[in-house]
Amino acid sequence: MREHLYWKFVLTFLIGVLGSLILSYYITTRIAGDADEYYEELIEVRQGIIHVYKLAGDEEKEKIMPILTDLGIDATLLKITDLSNELTEREMNQLLTQQENDNYLIKDTKNLTQAMYLMFDREAKEVLKVDIDLSDDLANRRQVMIRTLLFVLVIGSVFILFASRYFVNSIKKLTVAAKEVTRGNFDVDLKTEREDEIGQLMHSFDDMIQTLKSTDESRKVFVSNVSHEIQSPLTSIKGYTKAIQDGVIDPEDEAKYLAIIYQEADRLSRLSTHLLKLQRLDDDHFTLNKQTYRLDEQIRSIVLTTAPLWQEKDLSVHVDLEPLSLELDEDLMELVWINLITNAIKFTDPGGSIDINYYLEHDRRVIRIHDTGCGIPKDKLPYIFDRFYKVDDARTEKNAGSGLGLAIVKKIIHLHGGDVQVVSDQNQGTTFFVRLKKY
């Protein structure tokens, strides 16, 4: 739970609030207190002075002042006539006529401040004035409380600033990275050790950048390959057409050069068809038009359709397929078998053979297409399904293709949830295995 950004914010907020409440409670109750508590303290001080006054009696009244002075209490000995500005005539008479044990008068001057008048010497009419003032103490403590709260506020603010920076820096880093990617710069480092939502977002964003980088590189390679594939036949067409127009070719050779022009134009047409097909298959919204049909009959039909090609090379074609019905996209699967069978015919020397059979492997139905052709070098095998890849040693200008046929085969098979593999040895033949779901 602590790894989630949401809970980090919640816990940070709760800890901050609880800490502030506890600290404020401690400061308020333990340090500053309130006016009621100070008023209770004032009463206790007053009662203590009265207690000392009563215990002293007339004989030891002179000891009262030193005791009060030691306690930090302000006491002054005055003539009663000097108190005319502080006491009313009634209050002075009350003080003079009270019994000895109750010979004192208490008068509030302001909040948390009291004046006590103790009859010190009745005959000399001397009064001991005691001033009790706790208001300054409360004010001082409240100032301490305010300073402490301000200190806590500053510390909390600094903490929030650093905590916010921790969370916001990663977001800023993502923003900078997004701007760089928008400019076409994919060399952005977003590696992080964070495991919360922002960390996951950074990991995902980094994966997206790497995907975009790979896509961009693939796009550049794709454009380069398409340009090359188009340029080669166009060069031939332009060259031979120009030669015919200029009359530099013997009339008896024109038919041969026209055939070459037609062949290159047909090559361009096939390239265009394959590119459109791949674009359609790469569409994320592309859906298969599946229906149940006889796969064995489809393959036999293609073998018959290509008969002129393999008969011309005197190839022996053997088809060993039992009745096999599967739910597939019939039109797309026809492209698979056409590509694989025509490739086998194209790269098998005259007098060779092609074998097509079927077997069951666990939950997969496997179609095996084997030829005795020139084979593919082992170092070339991992790349033969890449777009525009050509095994130069196994192809000649006569049978050169666009390099898209096997890419289309692989794409179609993967869309059906299957896979295609190849086993080959140079000069020993090639075998393609097409594995499809059993049902």
DSSP element (H, E) containing 168: helix 135-182
pLDDT the model gives residue 1 = 44
* 16 and 157 belong to one structural domain: yes
Residues 226, 353, single domain; the answer is: no
Statement to judge: residues 430 and 321 lie in one domain: yes
C-alpha to C-alpha distances, 433 to 328, 336, 369, nearest whole angstrom: 17, 12, 7
One domain, residues 299 and 410: yes
In a shared domain, residues 387 and 328: yes
Please, what is the end-to-end C-alpha distance for the chain in angstroms? Answer: 44
Residues 17 and 67 in one domain: no
Q: Is 400 strand, coil or helix?
A: coil
365 and 428 both lie in a single domain: yes
Amino acid making up residue 48: G
Type of residue numbered 354: I
Q: Is residue 187 part of a domain?
A: no
Q: Quick check: 340 and 354 in contact, CB under 8 A?
A: no
Q: Residue 119 in 3-state DSSP?
A: strand
Coil/strand/helix, residue 248: coil
Domain count, the chain: 4
Verify that 234 and 151 share a domain, yes or no.
Answer: no
User: What is the chain's pLDDT, residue by residue, as a tens digit (439 residues)?
Assistant: 445 555 565 567 667 766 775 676 566 655 555 555 556 666 666 677 777 766 666 666 677 777 776 666 777 777 877 777 777 777 777 777 766 556 665 666 556 677 777 767 777 777 777 776 666 666 677 677 667 767 766 676 667 667 666 766 777 778 788 888 888 787 777 777 777 777 777 788 788 888 887 777 767 766 776 676 677 678 878 888 888 888 777 777 788 888 888 878 887 787 777 777 777 777 777 888 899 999 999 999 989 988 888 999 999 999 999 999 999 999 889 889 988 998 999 999 999 999 999 999 888 999 999 999 888 888 888 888 887 776 654 444 444 556 778 888 898 999 999 999 999 988 889 999 999 987 6
Tokens of 174: 């993502």
pLDDT at 394: 41
CA 214 vs CA 187, 219, 221, 228: distances in Å: 11, 8, 10, 21
Residue 253 is part of which domain span? 197-280
